[in-house]
Structure 1
Amino acid sequence: MRLRRITTVLATVGILAVGGLATTASADNWNAGTGPRPVSFHDLARPECDNLQQGASGWCTVALQTTLTQVGYPVAIDGKFGPVTKATLELFQQNNHARLVDGIVGPETRYLLGAAMDRVTTRDNIAKHNDGRWPSIICSPFKIFGMTCEDLVSGSPAG
C-alpha cells in the first residue's frame, strides 16, 4: 500500500513537471477503480466539492491538493484532506488575505484559488511565448508607477 502511494505521488509529480496545469493520478487511491482522469482547478466548482474540509477524501481533495501545489503551496496529492492539507490551505488563505482563515474551501477560498491559478497561467504563457521575457509594450506603462513586469503577475509592488 505504501509503495503504491509513493508510486502514485511520483507519477503525479512527473506528470505535473511534464504536463503543465493538468495532471493525471492513479485511480485506485480515490476514484473507485474507474481509471485515471485529468484533474484541474475547475473540478473544485462541482457541487460535491462545496465546503471541502478536513476529513474529506476523493476527487475534490485531489483537485484541491493539485491546485495548491500548482499555485506554490506544495502538498502531497493523495486524495485525503488531513491536517497537512488543512494547514497548507490555511497558509494559502492567510497569505491571500481571506476574510476567514478556516481551512475550508468555501466560495471565497475557491475564488482566491482561481485568481492564483490565473496568475500562474498568465506567467507561464508569457514565459512560454517570450523566452521568459515580458514584452516591453506591456511593461512600459507600469514603470511610471514604480512597478516591474513581475509585479503585474504577482500582484504586489517590488520593494
Structure 2
Amino acid sequence: MRLNSLRWTVLVAAAMAGAVALSGCSAPAIPSAATHARSASPAPEAPILDFPVGSVPGQVAYASVDNVSSTPTAGSTAGPGLFVGGKVLVIEGDCVGPSGGGFRLTTADSAARVIAAGTFHCGEPMRDELRGVNDYEGPVQLSFTETDGIQLGWLRASLEPAD
C-alpha cells in the first residue's frame, strides 16, 4: 500500500510539473485597472527663418541668435569689410519670436563706441538707412542687445556704395 501511495504522489507531482511547464511558468493573468493615457500634445513646429548665406558687397558686420536649439547661441562676425564713416550705413535683419529685440553697432576697438543702436519687431523685416554716421574707420561689431523676444534672428550692417 505504501508503494501505491508513493506512486500516487509521484504521479501527481509529475502532472503538476508538466502543467506548470506547459503554462510557461507564468502567473495567472490578473486584469489591471483601466488607465487613461493622455495623448501627447503635438510638439510645436520649430520656427523657420531664412538666414542670409554669405556676405553682400559692403558688409561690415553680421550677427545671429538662436534661442530655439538645444544649445542656444548668439554670434557676431566683424567684416568682411571695414566701416568708413560718412557713408550710408544700412542695418537690416529679421527675426521670429513673440516680440523683437534690440541691436547695437560699436567700434571693434577697446573704446567700443556706439555707432548705431535701435530696436526691431519680429515678423517685420527691418532695413534702416543711417546717413552721416561717425568719422570712425575700421572694424565694427554688430550685436543683439535684447533677445528675450526672439527665437531666431539675424542682423547685417553694410555700407552703401558711393553715389
Report the TM-score when normalising by structure 1. Answer: 0.22
Rg larger in structure: 2
Report the TM-score when normalising by structure 2. Answer: 0.22
More helix by share: 1
